[in-house]
Structure formats: structure tokens, C-alpha cells
A and B are shown apart, each in its own frame.
Chain A
Amino acid sequence: MKYAVVTFPGSNCDWDTYYAVKDVMKEEVDMLWHGDNELGKYDCIILPGGFSYGDYLRAGAIAKFSPLMKEIINYANAGGLIIGICNGFQILLETNLLPGAMLQNKNVHFICKQVYVKLNNSNTPFTNAINKNDVLNIPIAHMDGNYYCDIKTYKELEENGQILFKYSDSNGNISDNANPNGSLANIAGICNAKKNVFGLMPHPERAVEKILGSEDGKKIFLSIRNHILQSKN
């Protein structure tokens, strides 16, 4: 089982993600540079958090033209697993691998804090190790996490079970009070219709050990492992 973490100029969660996969999950992982032209064989590719290209123009807008992104788009279209965390999510939106766009947080502040997210669909490669209706405690750290899409897209997301996580309180109640950034319908993470590309604003790699305050993020990495093992059998 082999993972890859892609570093863009301005990525700053790449090594945290490497640590989570390598040292916590004990999996093999390569660090890839965005300027590479070739993509090796991987079971899962992770686009990490940060500020690729300084968030110039729009968060993730310039990263989509990185040479390696062409290969990553082909990999996604062939069914390869991709998870985009925070800026990685923004890149997946700009690349149209996921529908919708990010707006600035409703309160116009950078928000860095622990939040709760409620699982909305456990039947995906990224959430199969999480109990239905489970609430995870994972941190967010972003300026542009206010997810938006048009009504038609939203209905499709709902009908296809593509909304994987919603911001909630610790009991799993989804309300405006539990919405940190103004995100449409409290959306914290979505996947594509084929369920092989997943983007989320919370940082699971920052919640993989008790000393970090929460181990809940590990459940996402465990889900990915389960899925890869099952698909290899």
C-alpha cells in the first residue's frame, strides 16, 4: 500500500500529512513535487493543506496548472483515490474534480480551532471505518472555507450521498451556531459522484494522536486503508 503527498509552493501541512501516514498509520508514503511530470503507481494521493501560490487570485486557482496536476486529473478519472485537505480541497474544486467553490469565511476572519463534524455517509472509501452518525473532533484552519454551490448541484450532492461531513455541535446537531464559516448547509467535506475523490476543510492529519487533542482524524485514514485492502483482495 503506497501513498503520495504532493507539495506545492506554499503547502505547509505536507509534512504533517506525511507524519500521519508514515509514523502513525505505518504506511509507505512518497513526497511528490508539484512540478513533476510523471506520476508513479499509488493507492492514494493526498493534496495537503497550506497556501499554494500564496492563495493568489483565488485559493487553489494557480495550483491547478501545476504539471503534476495533469497526471493527477488522469489518475482521478481512472478511479484513483484522492483526498484533498483544506487547500487540497480548494485545489480539487478549482480543478473541477469536485463541484462548487470556496468563498471567504462569512466572518471575514482566518479561523483556527477545533470543530465537530458529523458523518453523513459511511458508505465511501474515506468514511467506512466511521460509525453512522458519528461526530468527529477535528481542527480547521482556513480563511476560505465557506463552501458554495448552486441549488441544482446541492441537490445532486444530497441525492448521491456526496456530502460526507457537516459541521455540527458535539452532539451531532447541525445548526447555524455550529457552522464556523458560513458554509452552505454546514458542508465540511464532499466527494465526487464516483466517490474516489474527497475534499474536506478540517485537518484529519492534525488529529491522529491523543497528544494532539484528538485521534478522530485517524478514522479517515483507517477508512482509506480498509478500502485499499478490500480492493486488493
Chain B
Amino acid sequence: MSVRTRWTEALIEGLIHLCGLSAIVFILAIVVFIAKEGTVFLFSHFVEMWQSTDWNPTLGTPVYGIVALVVGTLWCVGLSLLFSVPVGIAAAVYLSEFAPEDVREALKVIVELLAAIPSVVWGFIGVMIINPLLQSLGAQVGLNGLNGAIILGLMTLPLLVSLGEDALRAVPDSYRQAATAMGATRWEMVTRVLLPAARPGLLVAVLLGVGRCVGETMAVLMATGHSVRIPHGLMDPVRTLTATIAAELGEAVRGGEHYQALFALGLLLFALTFAVNLTADLLIRGTRRGA
């Protein structure tokens, strides 16, 4: 190896190293930025925030209750998972175990295309297509929690299918051969051998899907009806944490209480998605060690 190649090698290595470190720098910078604006409010109003379902930051005496916003977020995410997890995992099983090679390749491209649809376009679909559809099914307002959940479900589906398929294909072929040798049908092989073996990987897929749903903003802002309340039925409009920040930050006076409150919401969201992603990460490590 000449001196010159060794020198370029070192330079490139250094650059790659720097790129890796930059991820840490960005994360830290984001945490510091949000924490700087939101921490004071979060700690001084923490109890108050959890005591009220009323979010009314522009009143003469403002009310910063976040219970309805948190419930709205979890409501949409929970409902969407009820739909996206079974469908997503079933699709992953089909792709990895049953689909012929060329069908699988074609379907994977389509699934990736689905993932490339921008969030605001999903919001449009919620307003223009699912809205009248739900209304024709008897909903009073088509912009509601169920609409938001359907949109979120469709948005997370590609993630679930791709990661789920990876998890299933990571199960060694010897498992399949052993199951077949024992006389298991394909269905028995999938339900009794593959799914249990791939469970940690599938769980990671679901958790990453949850993180994605919790943080989604534009589509839910458009589709949920954006109404602060505890939902009593599938067709009730709701409001999420993310949509509240997006809708109100524009005119909140910089440095004012409302502004800080929105950053406190951001901190809570960050903590929530961080916890979900950390769990997913620990699970991945768990599987690696187990394998």
C-alpha cells in the first residue's frame, strides 16, 4: 500500500467516523433545544397538566390540561394498531412464506411505494375519501378518531410488512425443514414454529410502528377533526399532541407561557417515542444475544 492510499484511507475513515458522531450531536442538540424552552414549564405545571381534560391556552386565565390530548393520541394509535398489526403481519407471512418469487418482488416494490406517499397526501385522502365514506356509513362527522386511525394504519403498514418480512426470513431454514419433517402442514409451521421464533423481531416492527404513529402530525391534524375531548365512540373527533403543536406554534408569542407549554408537549412526545424506540432497541439486542 502506497503512502498516498493509506492517507486517503485515513481521511475517508475519519469522515465516516464524523458522520457517525454527527447523529449523536444532532440528537443532543435537539434534546437541548426542546428542553431549553420546555423544561421550566413542564416542571412548574406538571401536576396541573395531568389534572384537566381542558386545553385552553389563549383564555384570560389559560388552562393547560393535556389529558384529552394524550388520550386522543393513544386512541388513534391504539385503534390504528388493531387494524395494521394483523394485516401487516399476515402480509409479511404471505410475502416470506407463500408468495412465489416474482410476486414477492413485485409486492415489495408496491409496499415501498406505499411508504413513499407524503404525510400530507394521506391527510388529503382522509379528508376527501375516508371522510365521505365514514359519513355514508352513518358517522355524524367524517373527520374523527376512526378516520385518523385508518390513515395512521395505512401509513404504518409498509413499515410493518417490510420489518415483519425481514424478521420471518431471519428464521433459519432448518426450523422450516424440521417442522416439515415432523409432518406439520404449512399453516401449522407458520403458527407453531415461525411466528414464535420470529416474535422478538415482529415485536420490534410493531414498536417502531407505534413510534411512527405517535409522532405523525400532518395527516392526523387533517383527518381527526382536531377537537379537544375524551372520545366516547369510534366516530368522535379527537385531537392529538402533535397536531396541537403544529396548529398553535405559529402564533404563540415566542418565550410566552403558551409557547413554553407547546415545547413541554414536545418534550413529552419526545420522551414517549424515545421510550418506545428504546424498548424496540433492547428487544433487538435481546434477540441477537439469544440467537
Do A and B assemble together? no
